[in-house]
Amino acid sequence: MKLEGFPQTVSLRDGTPVTVRPLAAADAKALLEFYRSLPEEDRLYLKDDVTDAGWLQRFVALVGSGEVVSLIAERGGKVVAEATLYRALRGWSTHVGEIRVSVAPALRRDGLGTSLAGELVKVATRIGVEKMVIEVVENQVGARKMFRKLGFRQEAVLHGHVKDINGTKRNLILASSDVSHVWDAMEALVADFSPSAE
Ligand SMILES: CC(C)(COP(=O)(O)OP(=O)(O)OC[C@H]1O[C@@H](n2cnc3c(N)ncnc32)[C@H](O)[C@@H]1OP(=O)(O)O)[C@@H](O)C(=O)NCCC(=O)NCCS
């Protein structure tokens, strides 16, 4: 799927410029390096084993088939964040998109996660997604707070649904928002939360 309007330069809160663009097959190695560089405490709660080369191969294939939209943020030739929109191409939930976002620890709390989620919402609107969902483990406090600010509200808790990489069972929270609500929340945040896209 060809996405219009990229690459973009996003300025973080401290003015650091970051390039945001769709993942290309040639970025696979850099994406794997990014995921392998995340601290274990982050990877503990990620749905997939993003450090596995086999996972990466399947992920790139899903991007190629249009089932997944992946945006990467780059700085100094390295991937520093990735945001994914999963969307079923068949069946009764083709209007639903699932979002996941990961940002390098050194660049957190500077608005990049919010910017990437916002860009994915724009893409989602263009491709006909009406409802956005996230699946987060109860312990992912930062992610829960970020998505709450973006208008997501809890729909369900699945108790003991996740086994983290240490085998400990955790509760999974499903939260959702209509795309238009995320859009409204993004606009409301713009005034005081100023990562800007050029
Ligand atoms: C969750 C994550 C993507 C947030 O990225 P980020 O670039 O730091 O997010 P932002 O800077 O846009 O944060 C927006 C708001 O979310 C909240 N927030 C983000 N991280 C937080 C944290 N660790 N603790 C408390 N609040 C947090 C804050 O309200 C923040 O606004 P503020 O900085 O003005 O207070 C990042 O922490 C991450 O990659 N975590 C590990 C992977 C993960 O949990 N992904 C979610 C799976 S869907």
Q: pLDDT tens for residues 28-76?
A: 999 999 999 999 888 888 888 899 999 999 999 999 998 999 999 999 9
Is the pLDDT reported for residue 195 higher than 70? no
CATH for 8-197, among 3.30.479.30, 3.40.1710.10, 3.40.630.30, 3.20.20.140? 3.40.630.30
Question: Ligand 1 mean position to 151 CA, how many Å?
Answer: 14
Residue spans of the domains in the chain: they are: 8-197
Helix axes 53-65, 28-37, angle to 10 degrees: 130
Digit-coded pLDDT (tens) for 119-147: 999 999 899 999 999 999 999 999 999 99
For the segment 180-190, the average pLDDT, to the nearest whole number, is 76
121 touches 132 (CB < 8 A): yes
Work out the angle at residue 138's Cα, subtended by the Cα atoms of residues 136 and 143, and round it to the nearest 5 degrees.
50
Question: Ligand 1 mean position to 115 CA, how many Å?
Answer: 11
Instruction: Determine the atom of ligand 1 nearest the C-alpha atom of 115.
Output: 12
Q: Is the CB of 146 under 6 A from ligand 1?
A: yes
1 by DSSP, 3-state: which?
coil
